[in-house]
Amino acid sequence: MSNDKKAIEKITSMDEDFGQWYTDIVKQAGLVDYTSVKGCVVICPYGYAIWEHIQRILDSRFKETGHENVYLPLFIPEGLLNREKDHVEGFAPEVAWVTQGGAEELTERLCVRPTSETLFCEHYKNAVQSWRDLPKLYNQWCNVVRWEKTTRPFLRSREFLWQEGHTLHATPEEATEETLRILDLYADFCEKVLAMPVIRGRKTDSDKFAGAEATYAIEAMMHDGKALQAGTSHYFGDGFARAFDITYTTKENKLAHPYQTSWGVTTRLIGAIIMTHGDDRGLNLPPMVAPVQAVIIPVAQHKEGVLDACKALEEKLKSVCRVKLDASDNSPGWKFAEHEMRGVPVRIELGPRDIENGECVLGIRYSGEKRTVKSDELERILPALLDEITQGMFDKALENRTNRTYSVKTLDEIDAVLKEKDAFFYIPWCEDPACENAIKEQTGVGSRCIPFDQHAQETDVCPVCGKKAKHIVLFAKAY
Amino acid sequence: MSNDKKAIEKITSMDEDFGQWYTDIVKQAGLVDYTSVKGCVVICPYGYAIWEHIQRILDSRFKETGHENVYLPLFIPEGLLNREKDHVEGFAPEVAWVTQGGAEELTERLCVRPTSETLFCEHYKNAVQSWRDLPKLYNQWCNVVRWEKTTRPFLRSREFLWQEGHTLHATPEEATEETLRILDLYADFCEKVLAMPVIRGRKTDSDKFAGAEATYAIEAMMHDGKALQAGTSHYFGDGFARAFDITYTTKENKLAHPYQTSWGVTTRLIGAIIMTHGDDRGLNLPPMVAPVQAVIIPVAQHKEGVLDACKALEEKLKSVCRVKLDASDNSPGWKFAEHEMRGVPVRIELGPRDIENGECVLGIRYSGEKRTVKSDELERILPALLDEITQGMFDKALENRTNRTYSVKTLDEIDAVLKEKDAFFYIPWCEDPACENAIKEQTGVGSRCIPFDQHAQETDVCPVCGKKAKHIVLFAKAY
């Protein structure tokens, strides 16, 4: 019996210490292991399998929208990184430098890519000559390095995995359209696949990507009321093209600079899944990215026929979902707790009496609900149930966000809420960075984005300077 | 008309200069672009798509044999790399060192992984406690860096992409079995998927992986008669486990060291494909990894109904192969040459008269053969034709190898052959490294492996010392 509780006892309660709860889950659910390389972790099989599902689904969506995968070097010569002024200022303070190769001291330092705009520009300069070569719609899946001081598995690490799209277009309109198309693709992916509601918006100027004309982002609320930036899409205008001298001949036989975008999501999404859906019993995975969607747990597995029936059921269900039979010699109670902790969306219990009745009992991870169903209907029921669970998890996360969202007119209102809980605040803003900064200084919540969905009123004024508001801005504490 | 020859004129003839021929192909077929990072290239969409097919097929085979994917850090602290003596001696001279992170000088240098045995060992030490935790069958797809002096796209580059499997087992027998299972998997993949015949064997001691007890390899012959090592699989015994203090409790409740393997293939396989199958008309891709398996080329596409018929055919064939219609405004002749150069296995010509007759003309890239077939039978014919082409390409490559393979008794025989062409030589060997070295010094061919398929005779003697031979060894010049 002591075994039965082992899995759960290791997880700190969310209310007690959300940070420790998070750390317990990533370790106990087998998502990561720590290493002697500061700020870098091992992504273990269960965590990596989640990433593989994210990759597979996103990659096919990128390809459906005409994007092609490429691979560019890990290293950026210092001189190349320095070509675009804003970009290097933004990234140089947080890069790792290679100074020695084999026995030789390098004459020019190489930076380990923190992002690859400069390398893509160098390549595009070769690859684009004529309007016929446009658009270029490239993407790469790779690792990047940013020398962060404070690190946390998935959320902020010195090395992380991501995809970075880099595209070139003939006109600003086309490039802007691409930037927003990808933002929508990310939002749809987060909401429909990860069951995570997001707010789409534009970053204020103080929060733009280094070198971008405009940065768009999707912001999600974690269970504790803090915000997490789940993906970004940047519009560069022709700034990089000018800095890197990328030109092409137009249909009218003139020389012109193309317009550029870049966009990315990272292994951070795994952190977002944990903090959006997890609870005190552990991880809670959205079915479409869960390595195991349904686990079969035999009850009284020593009794004749039980294991055979379970195996037969596993075989039958393989064609409709990712199913796994746990035939280990642990007790059913231990298995219940273990697979709950690992966030398996559906548990299928099958014991002697169930077999006799042609039934089994389904346990639904996110809601705790139990349902008794006919075993021979499972093939038909399961796919629909997984969809229902995705929608249910989305609704639950949206409810949490709704309950923690406030439209405020004064900073005092923010303080009053923050005394009780973290939350999202919609605040009218005059567009002066000084006021944006004052809000952060005085309340602790920072601007996340200017949501596309605006509901500003004529009478709205900036709570700091009292001037007429130009936008309603989303403010929150953030990961 | 001048356009029609453009694609072909850029490729140097193989006989004239095989090295330049190779360089022309990787560039002209759109596989790579050069960068300002010495020894590193851009893998362009067409090249990367080949790699994606290689990855997809291998990855599913690894998973079918019980392996799980993980991701370990890019960086290895110097102290960790130094833990296994032979290993560090082998790799330290060719690694890139990170010495600075952000503004801080690092107190311990970090090496950019040239391979990840040391990191896997560190993780396994945490992850393995009991015999129940064995075997561990892990793999990762990632980039690695080796500071090579002379580089060449795909064949030898400072950064390359690969997969590295790392497994732990309870007994030497199980670990050896795994090492050989993977070597067989690689050989089968090369022969059945890449249509590239390989010779399986064990490396001589002078050519073992740094830290391995035994290294096994598959060796392929390139079109010019040189050898290319296409994949390796290493058996480590418990050497790394001892160096890294990895122990587990056996069923009998004793403490023991597990036995280890590692194995990998790299983007080098793309170079192997080029040099095994390519010809003076360009690239020649094995169907299973070709980004486009069949290209439809309209003849007289301005005539009514031609483009519509081609589009309808493309739609119809999408379910049976990777098909693409080239409806660009280039001439059919230019398109023929272009898609031949890019190595598309099958060309489908469709013009007004073909449409009238319900026929189309197939052009088979590797053999140059043409076949007229009924259009409505294409869905049935194509998959079988792609298999036939794979077999035909394999047979052709095997014929080249057979024609360039010699069993010799003396070094003079080797010299005589080498005056005319490069070749594979089977040479009896006494097992003394001095004799192995003497053969290399005196003839220029080095030992590649001790083939599993041995045909030594009682009377065979080492051509250097005259002592009785212990093995027949494969010697060749190598990439």
Describe the strand order of the beta sheet including A446-451 as a list of residue ranges: A68-69, A136-145, A159-169, A259-266, A227-237, A214-221, A198-202, A446-451, A471-476, A424-429, A405-407
Q: How many CB pairs lie under 8 A apart between chains A and B?
A: 156
Out of B79, B94, B127, whose CB is closest to A102? B94
For residue B135, cis peptide bond before it (omega within 30 degrees of 0): yes
In A2-97, where does DSSP find H-type helix? Answer: 2-9, 18-28, 45-64, 78-81, 85-91
Is residue A210 within 8 A of residue A91, CB to CB? The reply is: yes
DSSP state of B356: H
Task: Round the average pLDDT of chain B to a whole number and report it.
Answer: 95
Is residue A191 within 8 A of residue A226, CB to CB? The reply is: no
Contacts B145 to A, Cβ<8 Å:
74
A96–B94 CB contact, under 8 Å = no
Question: Exposed, middle or buried, A398 (CB in 10 Å: 0-12/13-18/19+)?
Answer: middle
What residue of B is the nearest CA neighbor of A141? B142
Out of A52, A99, A102, whose CB is closest to B95? A102
Residues B328, B330, B331, B336, CA torsion sign:
negative
Helix (H, G, I), strand (E, B) or coil at A369: coil
Residue B346 pLDDT class (50, 70, 90 cuts): very high
What's the pLDDT tens digit per position in B357-407? 999 999 999 999 999 999 999 999 999 999 999 999 999 999 999 999 999
* A72 CB-side CA count, 13 A: 26
Out of A35, A96, A142, whose CB is closest to B119? A35
B49–A69 CB contact, under 8 Å = yes
User: Would you say residue A3 has pLDDT above 80?
Assistant: no
What's the pLDDT tens digit per position in A25-73? 999 999 999 999 999 999 999 999 999 999 999 999 999 999 999 999 9
Tokens describing residue B44: 């362009």
CA B455 – CA B64 distance, rounded (Å): 34
β-sheet bridge partners, residue B105: B100
A36–B74 CB contact, under 8 Å = no
Contacts A52 to B, Cβ<8 Å:
69
In this predicted structure, what is the pLDDT of residue A9? 61
CA A423 – CA A417 distance, rounded (Å): 8
Give the ipTM of the model, two decimals please. Answer: 0.96
Residue with tokens 């590193």: B40
A159–B75 CB contact, under 8 Å = yes
In this predicted structure, what is the pLDDT of residue B8? 53
- Nearest CA-CA distance, residue B280 and chain A, Å: 25
B36–A99 CB contact, under 8 Å = no
A75–B159 CB contact, under 8 Å = yes
- Nearest CA-CA distance, residue A144 and chain B, Å: 9
Mutate to test the interface with A, among B26, B40, B42 (most CBs of A within 10 A): B42
Out of B49, B103, B122, whose CB is closest to A36? B122
Share of chain A above pLDDT 90, in %: 93
Contacts B52 to A, Cβ<8 Å:
69
Over range A248-255, report the average pLDDT. 96
What residue of B is the nearest CA neighbor of A39? B73
Contacts B114 to A, Cβ<8 Å:
none
Q: Which domains does chain A have, with CATH numbers?
A: 14-277 (3.30.930.10), 292-385 (3.40.50.800), 406-476 (3.30.110.30)
CA B62 – CA B47 distance, rounded (Å): 23
User: Would you say residue B6 has pLDDT above 80?
Assistant: no
In this predicted structure, what is the pLDDT of residue A31? 98
In this predicted structure, what is the pLDDT of residue B457? 80
In this predicted structure, what is the pLDDT of residue A2? 40
- Nearest CA-CA distance, residue A72 and chain B, Å: 5
User: Would you say residue A359 has pLDDT above 70?
Assistant: yes
Contacts A35 to B, Cβ<8 Å:
72-73, 119, 122-123
What's the pLDDT tens digit per position in A414-457? 999 999 999 999 999 999 999 999 999 999 999 999 999 998 78
In this predicted structure, what is the pLDDT of residue B456? 73
Helix (H, G, I), strand (E, B) or coil at A48: helix
User: Would you say residue B3 has pLDDT above 60?
Assistant: no
What's the pLDDT tens digit per position in A99-136? 999 988 999 999 999 999 999 999 999 999 999 999 99
Give the DSSP per-residue string, B13-41. Answer: PTTT-HHHHHHHHHHHTTSEEE-SSTT-E
CA A75 – CA A40 distance, rounded (Å): 19
Contacts A98 to B, Cβ<8 Å:
96-99, 112
User: Would you say residue B424 has pLDDT above 80?
Assistant: yes
User: Would you say residue B240 has pLDDT above 70?
Assistant: yes
Helix (H, G, I), strand (E, B) or coil at A78: helix
Q: The pTM is what? A: 0.96
What residue of A is the nearest CA neighbor of B157? A73
In this predicted structure, what is the pLDDT of residue A103? 87
In this predicted structure, what is the pLDDT of residue A5? 45
